[in-house]
A and B are shown apart, each in its own frame.
Chain A
Amino acid sequence: MSAAHPVLLKVENLTKHFPITKGVFRREVGSVKAVDGISFEIRERETLGLVGESGCGKSTAGRVILQLYPATGGNVAFRGEELTRLSTEGMRKLRPKMQMIFQDPQDSLNPRMTVGSIIGEPLEEHGIAKGKASRERVEELLQSVGMNPKFTNRYPHEFSGGQRQRIGIARALALNPEFIVCDEPIAALDVSIQAQVVNLLEDLQEQYGLTYLFISHDLSMIRHIADRVAVMYLGKLMELAPSASLYREPLHPYTQALLSAVPIHDPLKEAQRERVILMGDVPSPANPPPGCPFSTRCPVAQEQCYYELPELRELRSGHQVACHFSK
């Protein structure tokens, strides 16, 4: 479906290193390689899922793409326009097109602002609507996320977690964006509320032709929502494939282990499945292993893996893997 659509966002060799400083003069003694050279494209109306465990750099990647952190290297092009070289003012003009939905609706909504002013702020800030027009737009937005438009004078604490996330979504929609980075938007919600929010995001995508970068650690939800999935580990992409193909035939040993670790809500299937239990923990991104980042935990690592970094290569149509031995 999405192949017909033009590329909306192109990320090339993006890196983000956070310096580690020491002493009074804050001498730089090393860096945390949070994002270490990732490349992918997202087409219009597509949902790209970005999965990985905590500390793999998926959230940092989302923020660097939106230029919330300056990139250390690499390029991000939005409709062909290079974002990393834009001035603050130039970026400000583009901001309405690119929005973000955060994980914790508790922390990302100002507790002292009413729902009306939270959602209306971007409208006034970007000079889109004021006064009555702004109020009407806010009511319309509340309605589109399935909330009562009369709630504009209430405060965030008066709402449940799921409702607060809807307010966060309404705020992100206020400026008619084309692209939204959803950073773990359902991780803080109760199971019975997660499906509501995911369905809402899917409806809105359909209705407004949105493009999503959906960051999550929840592999079964990603399978449901994403058209294509990128698997990240220690700042690098391990595998990038259409959702169906990735879950049917994961090619990277890390993806295989990750998928086998997801608990299935069926005791019969649980009893039958074979688990790959990984040894040890994720190495520190300040000091990643030379060679393949997964080599320290990989059940099939060979000598080559410890010194030579595997490149992403396309093994099936649209299915890329960074492993020397995947076939």
Chain B
Amino acid sequence: MQHTAASPVLEVKDVVTRFRTQDGMVYAVNGISFSLNEGELLGIVGESGSGKSVTMMSLLKLLPMPPAEIVSGEAHFEGEDLLKLDPNKMRHIRGGRIGFIFQDPMTSLNPVLTVGYQLTESLREHLKMPRKVARQRAGELLELVGIPMAANRLNDFPHQFSGGMRQRVMIAIALACDPKVLIADEPTTALDVTIQAQILDLVKRLRQELGMAIIWITHDLGVVAGIADRVMVMYGGFVVERAGVKELYSNPKHPYTQALLRTLPDMDGDRSERLESIKGQPPDLHHKPVSCPFAPRCPHVFERCLQANPLLESVADGHELACWWDTATGEAKP
């Protein structure tokens, strides 16, 4: 599916988020821009500390402030700038027009409230549904996400569900108000592979049925390969590469993306081959980023990489890259 011509439902510009901590400033997100098109699934890939979660938390205003500070940025959604909304209005959007799912369904569900209550809460709050109607809808939602005997399980507590079922409940809650955008932050990371496959299958189906746009945050390049339309790779609080899913995997241009794909062992191919590894450690976010964040680990590093940070530039149709090195010519960019 290509959605290049579609109009963006969410447009994020130059978000900068920092944390003021006892050990000094942590530069978590250093100017992230992206747009999410209608009905599109945008995969955001990065390791821990790449800023992928903090970016989304900034948009939803879910970060504790202080220590967090959103220094600058805009996020346009349905004619409003999310970053300038007052807390009250933001509450209406969160869980309403923008749904979200987090990694660990056990800690994001309230253990002392029934699943039915947690599902109807947002329906009554956002859509002002009467209790009975909300309950009926809650049953339908559980059925939609594939929970067997859904109507009978509304009075159950989260601990009575397995990990995979709990994540389905989370998805049902996120979908309750028919959101325009769904943000999923590592939703399958805590799950086993066979359960992960079930959830991925469910998300593919729901996308077709409901047609919302999805932002899927993960560290797993394999997971996004199967479901995303476009992929954005983050490193050290920057977007380093962005492209359509097929283009990114068949023609990765950033040295980090290339290295990341090479470190992954294959499921076919030669087994005895030594894994390629990326030398060095992930970036220390305590330093104000002035150079390319990947420079200390990059095999192509040269002077310029240490002096200035490359901007994200279009290198081919729909393919953007932030690198001073031109992989096509094997030379530095003019």
Contact of A97 with B by CB under 8 A: no
Residue from B47, B162, B194, B267 in contact with A264 in the complex, judged by beta carbons closer than 8 Å: B267
Chain-A contact segment, one of B97-105, B171-179, B275-283, B299-307 = B275-283
Residue from A163, A217, A265, A281 in contact with B221 in the complex, judged by beta carbons closer than 8 Å: A265
Q: Nearest Cβ distance between residue A188 and chain B, in whole angstroms?
A: 10
Cβ contacts under 8 Å, A275 to chain B: 197, 201
A54 to chain B: closest residue by CB? B192
Number of residue pairs spanning A and B whose beta carbons lie under 8 angstroms apart = 123
Contact of B271 with A by CB under 8 A: yes
Q: Are B278 and A196 in touch, CB under 8 angstroms? A: yes
- Quick one: which of A27-57 are within 8 Å of B by CB? 53-54
Q: Nearest Cβ distance between residue B47 and chain A, in whole angstroms?
A: 4
Contact of B263 with A by CB under 8 A: yes
B188 to chain A: closest residue by CB? A263
Known: A190-B47, A265-B249, A265-B261. A281 touches B165 (CB 8 A): yes
Contact of B259 with A by CB under 8 A: yes
Q: Is the interface of A mostly helix, strand, loop or mixed?
A: helix
CA A267 to CA B230, docked complex, whole Å: 11
Contact of B106 with A by CB under 8 A: no
- Quick one: which of B188-218 are within 8 Å of A by CB? 192-198, 200-201
Cβ contacts under 8 Å, A217 to chain B: 192-193
Cβ contacts under 8 Å, B271 to chain A: 223-224, 243-244, 247
Q: Are A258 and B193 in touch, CB under 8 angstroms? A: yes
Q: Are A261 and B193 in touch, CB under 8 angstroms? A: yes
Contact of A136 with B by CB under 8 A: no
Contact of B314 with A by CB under 8 A: no
Contact of A195 with B by CB under 8 A: yes
Q: Is the interface of B mostly helix, strand, loop or mixed?
A: helix
Cβ contacts under 8 Å, B282 to chain A: 160, 190, 192-193
- 3 closest residue pairs by CB, A with B: A263-B222, A261-B197, A195-B277
User: In the complex, which range does the number of interface residues on chain A fall in?
Assistant: 35 or more
- Quick one: which of A244-270 are within 8 Å of B by CB? 244, 247, 257-268, 270
Contact of B9 with A by CB under 8 A: no
Contact of B266 with A by CB under 8 A: yes
Cβ contacts under 8 Å, B200 to chain A: 263
Contact of B67 with A by CB under 8 A: no
Q: Are A191 and B246 in touch, CB under 8 angstroms? A: no
Q: Are B195 and A160 in touch, CB under 8 angstroms? A: no
CA A281 to CA B166, docked complex, whole Å: 12
Extra contacts besides A220-B266, A268-B250 (12): CB < 8 Å: A223-B271, A224-B265, A258-B193, A260-B197, A262-B222, A263-B222, A264-B226, A266-B249, A267-B225, A277-B201, A281-B163, A282-B192
Contact of A199 with B by CB under 8 A: yes
Contact of B245 with A by CB under 8 A: yes
CA A86 to CA B156, docked complex, whole Å: 48
Q: Are A247 and B267 in touch, CB under 8 angstroms? A: yes
CA A262 to CA B222, docked complex, whole Å: 8
Q: Nearest Cβ distance between residue B26 and chain A, in whole angstroms?
A: 15
Cβ contacts under 8 Å, A260 to chain B: 197
Cβ contacts under 8 Å, B259 to chain A: 192
Cβ contacts under 8 Å, A271 to chain B: 226
Q: Nearest Cβ distance between residue A161 and chain B, in whole angstroms?
A: 8
Contact of A314 with B by CB under 8 A: no
Cβ contacts under 8 Å, B197 to chain A: 260-261, 275, 277-278
Q: Are B263 and A266 in touch, CB under 8 angstroms? A: no
B48 to chain A: closest residue by CB? A190
Known: A264-B225, A267-B225. A223 touches B201 (CB 8 A): no
Known: A258-B194, A259-B267. A191 touches B223 (CB 8 A): no
Q: Are B277 and A196 in touch, CB under 8 angstroms? A: yes
Cβ contacts under 8 Å, A128 to chain B: none
Contact of B260 with A by CB under 8 A: yes
Q: Nearest Cβ distance between residue A62 and chain B, in whole angstroms?
A: 18
A52 to chain B: closest residue by CB? B192
CA A250 to CA B277, docked complex, whole Å: 29
CA A263 to CA B278, docked complex, whole Å: 22
Q: Nearest Cβ distance between residue A224 and chain B, in whole angstroms?
A: 4
Residue from A223, A261, A263 in contact with B225 in the complex, judged by beta carbons closer than 8 Å: A263
Q: Are A191 and B219 in touch, CB under 8 angstroms? A: yes
- Quick one: which of A269-313 are within 8 Å of B by CB? 270-271, 275, 277-278, 281-282
Cβ contacts under 8 Å, A193 to chain B: 278, 281-282
Residue from A53, A160, A223, A270 in contact with B265 in the complex, judged by beta carbons closer than 8 Å: A223
Known: A196-B277, A198-B275. A191 touches B264 (CB 8 A): yes
Contact of A162 with B by CB under 8 A: yes
Known: A192-B260, A278-B198. A265 touches B225 (CB 8 A): yes
Contact of B164 with A by CB under 8 A: yes
Q: Nearest Cβ distance between residue A258 and chain B, in whole angstroms?
A: 6
Q: Nearest Cβ distance between residue B197 and chain A, in whole angstroms?
A: 4
Q: Nearest Cβ distance between residue A96 and chain B, in whole angstroms?
A: 30
Q: Are A53 and B194 in touch, CB under 8 angstroms? A: yes
Q: Are A191 and B263 in touch, CB under 8 angstroms? A: yes
Contact of A194 with B by CB under 8 A: yes
Q: Are A267 and B165 in touch, CB under 8 angstroms? A: no
CA A163 to CA B201, docked complex, whole Å: 37
